Amino acid sequence: MASETIVLIIIIVLLLVCIILEAKKLARYKKRNFEITKSLFGILQAERQEIAVSGMHVYLLTSCFYDYLPLNLKLKINNEELKYGALLHDIGKLAIPKEILNKAGKLEKKEMILVRSHTDKSEMMLSDIDGLEKVAKWVKYHHERIDGKGYYKLKGDEIPLEARIIAITDTYSSIIMGRSYKPTGTREDAMTILRMDAGTQFDEELIGYFSHIPADRLNEAGVQVHNMMSRYLDMNA
């Protein structure tokens, strides 16, 4: 995709988010505003389908995850802001060439550095938008590990709670939905990996809560994403 197209898409993203956040000041518009944001990802799907699909799936999974968190954790979280963080968690990948993101083989060192930079790019896109400053930090740190071996070497509670939540739903999504460079897995595959890495990569307490979400609730998120993809494909056929 031409660099001009990437820039245009990014500008559209930022402008719409700014408009939405301004309107968020009126509580009765919150639900409609988030629906507008989700519709934006239909626009992105035409050019960067993987980013759009991942954003929508992680958003749906995170919304579901929130419902199964205990009250003491819910009280620490602004659910509206968490939704934006989940939806926009990989928005910085718009600045990464598709041929690198979708490369089938092993990435070269410079390519890996570029791919990892998407978290910084996401933060830069969102941090200057009034109302998204905290969200910008969550998307920046959603690849951190509990053991401190992530991108920025934060560990344990140094990692924002919301980033720890998105880390789980993003990993689950990447296994279930697959990527252009790897096949899809099953729910059982995903849960096995999450449990195996609980306490090292992921927050062990949060993995416990995620593990108790009924399979049909998690599967519903995938069905919704596939239905949305089908609708947009039909519209553009």
Give the residue numbers annotated as catalytic, written as ranges: 93
- Rounded CA separation 96/207 (Å): 30
What single DSSP character describes residue 213? S
Q: Which stretches does DSSP call E strand in the chain?
A: none
Cβ 199 vs Cβ 208: under 8 Å = no
Separation of alpha carbons 84 and 31, rounded Å: 12
Q: Where do runs of H (alpha helix) occur along the chain?
A: 3-23, 30-45, 49-67, 71-74, 79-87, 98-101, 109-116, 118-127, 133-140, 161-177, 187-196, 204-211, 215-235
Strand, helix or coil for residue 179: strand
